[in-house]
C-alpha cells in the first residue's frame, strides 16, 4: 500500500505534468461542463461582500473570479492549486482582489482562523491523507466559518464517465484501478466516507445534498470522441495505447454512447454531492 506522502507526490506530478497540460488545453470545454455544478455550490456558499475566502484546487480560477466578485470590493480570495501550470493561467485573469498560490492545500501553512469560507469545485478529492488535509483547512477557518464544496458521487451514478470507460477498457492496455481510500475523481463518492473524513477533521455535522444534472460530452459523436481522447481518465489510457487499440476503443465508445445521442448532443447523467459543514 502506498503511503500518504507517495500518493500526494503522484498527484502533484500528475497535475504539474500531463493532467495540468490536458486540463489547460481543454479548459473552455471543461468550464462549460462543470459550471452547472459549481453554480449551486457557489449559491450555497453565499460569499458576502467583505469576506475572506479560500478557493481550494482552483485550477484556472473560474470559481475564484466568481468568489472575488461576490466579496468585492473589500473582501479577498486566496486561491490555491498544486499545479503551477494552472495557477499561471489563473493569474492571467488579473483579478484585483484575488491572490493565487502554488501549493499543496493539505499542508499549506494558512493563517489560522482567518477565513470565513473554504470553497472548492472538484478540488478536494486528491489528498493523500484527507483527514490531515481537512484538519489543515479547518484550522484556516474562523470559528464562525463554513466549508462548501462539490465533488463527484460514485462512478455507477455517473454514466457520463462510466459508460465510455467500460466500453473502451477491454481494448486498452491493463491499468491499475484506485482502491477505495486512494485519491482520485470519485474518491468522495461514498457518503459515509465523506462524513467520516469531515467528522475526524473536526467539522460540525456535514450536510450532503445530491446534485443530479445531465452532462453533455459533445455537440455530436465526433466532438465527444475527440473530447474523451483529449482530457480525462480515457485520455490518460490512450496515452499508453497504440493507434490500433485507440481506434477499437473509440469505436466501442461510439457504440456504447449511441443511445445517449440527442438533438442537442451526446448527454448522460452526472451526479455530485454538494457538501457543506461548519467549522465546529
Ligand atoms: C478537477 S480539477 C478542478 C479545478 C477547478 N476547481 C475547477 O473547477 O475548474 C482539480 C484541481 O485540484 C488541484 N489539486 C489536486 N490536488 C491538490 C492539492 N493537494 N492542493 C491543491 N490543489 C490540488 C489540481 O491541480 C486541479 O487543478
Instruction: Give the pLDDT confidence of 18-69 residue by residue, as tens digits.
Output: 999 999 999 899 999 999 999 999 999 999 999 999 999 999 999 999 999 9
| 92 inside domain | yes
d(C-alpha 67, C-alpha 134), whole Å? 21
Handedness of CA 143, 61, 36, 66 (dihedral sign): positive
Residue 39 domain boundaries: 4-155+180-216+271-278
Q: Which atom of ligand 1 is least distant from the CA of 15?
A: 25
Residue 1 has pLDDT above 90, yes or no: no
pLDDT the model gives residue 178: 87
Among residues 220, 261, 235, 247, the alpha carbon closest in space to that of 165 is found at: 235
In a domain, 239, yes or no: no
DSSP string of 39-51, one letter each residue? HHHHHHH---TT-
**Within-domain flag for 26:** yes
Q: Is the CB of 80 under 6 A from ligand 1?
A: yes
**Residue 10: CB partners within 8 Å, gap ≥ 6?**
2
Task: List beta partners, residue 10.
Answer: none
pLDDT (tens digit per residue) in 156-213: 999 999 999 999 999 999 988 888 888 999 999 999 999 999 999 999 999 999 999 9
Q: Is the CB of 122 under 6 A from ligand 1?
A: yes
228 part of a folded domain: no
The answer, yes or no, to whether any atom of ligand 1 lies below 6 A from the CB of 134, is: no
Which CATH number covers residue 200?
3.40.50.150
Closest atom, ligand 1, to C-alpha of 105: 20
* Mean pLDDT lowest among 2-11, 123-132, 199-208, 219-228: 2-11
Please state, as a whole number, how many other Cβ atoms lie within 10 Å of the Cβ of residue 214. Answer: 15
> Does ligand 1 come within 6 angstroms of the Cβ of 104?
yes
pLDDT at 180: 84
- The CB of 232 under 6 Å from ligand 1? The reply is no
Q: 121 CB under 6 A from ligand 1?
A: yes
Q: Is there a domain that residue 237 lies in?
A: no
CA dist., res. 68 & res. 183, Å (int)? 29
CA of 80 relative to ligand 1 center, distance in Å: 8
pLDDT for 216 equals: 95
Number of other residues whose CB lies within 10 A of the CB of residue 280: 11
Helices 18-25 and 27-45: crossing angle, nearest 10°?
A: 90
**What does the pLDDT read at residue 4?**
87
Task: Quote the pLDDT of residue 181.
Answer: 87
For residue 151, what are the contacts with CB-CB under 8 A and spacing of at least 6? 122, 124, 125, 188, 189, 194, 272, 273, 275
> What is the share, in percent, of the chain residues with pLDDT greater than 90?
88
User: Cα(54)–Cα(67) distance, rounded to whole angstroms?
Assistant: 9
pLDDT in tens, 70-92: 999 999 999 999 999 999 999 99
Q: Is the pLDDT of residue 261 over 90?
A: yes
Number of domains in the chain: 1
242 falls within a domain? no
Place 252 in a pLDDT band, splitting at 50, 70 and 90: very high
**Chain-wide mean pLDDT for the chain?**
96
Residues 6+ apart with CB under 8 A from 253: 164, 167, 168, 225, 228, 234
Q: 231: Cβ below 6 Å to ligand 1?
A: no
- Given this model, what pLDDT does residue 51 score? 98
In a domain, 226, yes or no: no
Amino acid at each position: 500500500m502506498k503511503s500518504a506522502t507517495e500518493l500526494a507526490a503522484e498527484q502533484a506530478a500528475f497535475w504539474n505534468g500531463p493532467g495540468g497540460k490536458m486540463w489547460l488545453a481543454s479548459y473552455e470545454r471543461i468550464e462549460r461542463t462543470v459550471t452547472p455544478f459549481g453554480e449551486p455550490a457557489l449559491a450555497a456558499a453565499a460569499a458576502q461582500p467583505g469576506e475572506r475566502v479560500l478557493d481550494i484546487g482552483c485550477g484556472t480560477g473560474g470559481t475564484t473570479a466568481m468568489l472575488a466578485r461576490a466579496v468585492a470590493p473589500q473582501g479577498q480570495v486566496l486561491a490555491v492549486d498544486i499545479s503551477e501550470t494552472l495557477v499561471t493561467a489563473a493569474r492571467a485573469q488579473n483579478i484585483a482582489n484575488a491572490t493565487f498560490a502554488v501549493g499543496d492545500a493539505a499542508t499549506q501553512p494558512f493563517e489560522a482562523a482567518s477565513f470565513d469560507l473554504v470553497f472548492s469545485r472538484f478540488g478536494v478529492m486528491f489528498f493523500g491523507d484527507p483527514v490531515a488535509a481537512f484538519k489543515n483547512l479547518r484550522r484556516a477557518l474562523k470559528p464562525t466559518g463554513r466549508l462548501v464544496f462539490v465533488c463527484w458521487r460514485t462512478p455507477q451514478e455517473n454514466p457520463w464517465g462510466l459508460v465510455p470507460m467500460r466500453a473502451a477498457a477491454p481494448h486498452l492496455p491493463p491499468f491499475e484501478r484506485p482502491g477505495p481510500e486512494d485519491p482520485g475523481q470519485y474518491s468522495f463518492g461514498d457518503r459515509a466516507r465523506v462524513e467520516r473524513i469531515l467528522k475526524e477533521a473536526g467539522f460540525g455535522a456535514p450536510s450532503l445534498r445530491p446534485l443530479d444534472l445531465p452532462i453533455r460530452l459533445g455537440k455530436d459523436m465526433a466532438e465527444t470522441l475527440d473530447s474523451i481522447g483529449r482530457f480525462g481518465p480515457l485520455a490518460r489510457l490512450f496515452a499508453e495505447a497504440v493507434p490500433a487499440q485507440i481506434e477499437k476503443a473509440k469505436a466501442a465508445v461510439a457504440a456504447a454512447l449511441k443511445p445517449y445521442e440527442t438533438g442537442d448532443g451526446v448527454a448522460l447523467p452526472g451526479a455530485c454531492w454538494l457538501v457543506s459543514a461548519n467549522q465546529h
